[in-house]
Amino acid sequence: MPDDDFDLTYPIERDLVENNVTIMTDSEVIKAYTKDDCVEAILKDGSTIVADKLLVTMMNKPNIPKGVERLNIDFDENGIKVDNNFRTTQENIFAIGDVNGKLCMAHAAINQAIQVAEHIIYSREIHQNYDNLPRAVFASLEIAGVGINESQIKHDRYKIGICEFKDTWRAVSKLYVEGFVKVIADLNDNIMGIWMVGKNVSEYIGLMDLLFKKKINALDIKRGLIIHPTLNEAVLEAVLNLKEIDKKCTRQ
């Protein structure tokens, strides 16, 4: 998770280690093969790992179906070429999801399908961007967020507000002791990112994409009604805790 802030990834790493998971960074598997009922993986440094199973994960890439060349549409290794309405170079053919290579994520494919259907039926133009894409990492503790994180901020001064889940009544009732919400805002209190780590936090982030499309600020959240007691109250508490950060002073 190189693109996530350290304060979000560290709790997941700590939780895995506490559950007897060995994490090896800066390592590379150069060969793997089965032997008897096991799998042996050879690392670049010459050492060997023996395990029951080996799971290989890679980055997503466009899933170009076989035979697509017969449709006379433009495509390359990066995906099928589409315009803003996901129409290919053939007027009656649209390409949504992984095949167009714009964003290889299931929720993006679902969104594209809905918008293309409405474009075909109602002639609605599609204006979709993924600047504030909500996303999640699913683990024993989860990371979920929308907007930018701290590592993506270009300027030195901004605001951060944090609320730990254990400081909410709902977390007390659920016996949650880990996790927090972090709200990132500019100096004018415009919300730039909402990020959280903890149990099932992916369930709380989905519709927050709509808030970003409306260009919400801290005052909008303060004026909003969030059901009490819920874990979503941690977002409000984090906004109430917004404090100015100066990267230069922090680095020193």
CB atoms within 10 A of CB 43: 14
DSSP secondary structure code for residue 124 in this structure = P
Residue 250 is predicted with a pLDDT of 59
Region(s) of the chain under CATH 3.30.390.30: 135-251
CB atoms within 10 A of CB 101: 21
DSSP SS3 for 77: coil
> Is residue 164 a contact partner of residue 183, using CB atoms and an 8 Å limit?
no
Residue 220 is predicted with a pLDDT of 93
Say what the pTM is. 0.83
User: What is the residue-level pLDDT of the chain in tens, covering all 252 positions?
Assistant: 777 899 999 999 999 999 999 998 888 999 999 988 999 999 999 999 999 999 988 777 888 888 999 999 999 989 999 999 999 999 999 999 999 999 888 889 999 999 999 999 999 999 887 877 888 999 889 999 999 999 888 888 999 999 999 999 999 999 989 999 999 999 999 999 999 999 999 998 878 888 888 888 999 999 989 899 999 999 999 999 999 988 767 544
Residue 252 is predicted with a pLDDT of 43
Residue with tokens 């693109």: 3
- Compute the radius of gyration of the chain from its Cα atoms: 22
Residue 251 is predicted with a pLDDT of 47
CA 142 to chain centre: 10
User: CA-CA distance, 141 to 122, in Å (whole number)?
Assistant: 42
List helix spans (H) across 75-187.
106-122, 169-174
135-251: CATH number: 3.30.390.30
Residue 215 is predicted with a pLDDT of 85
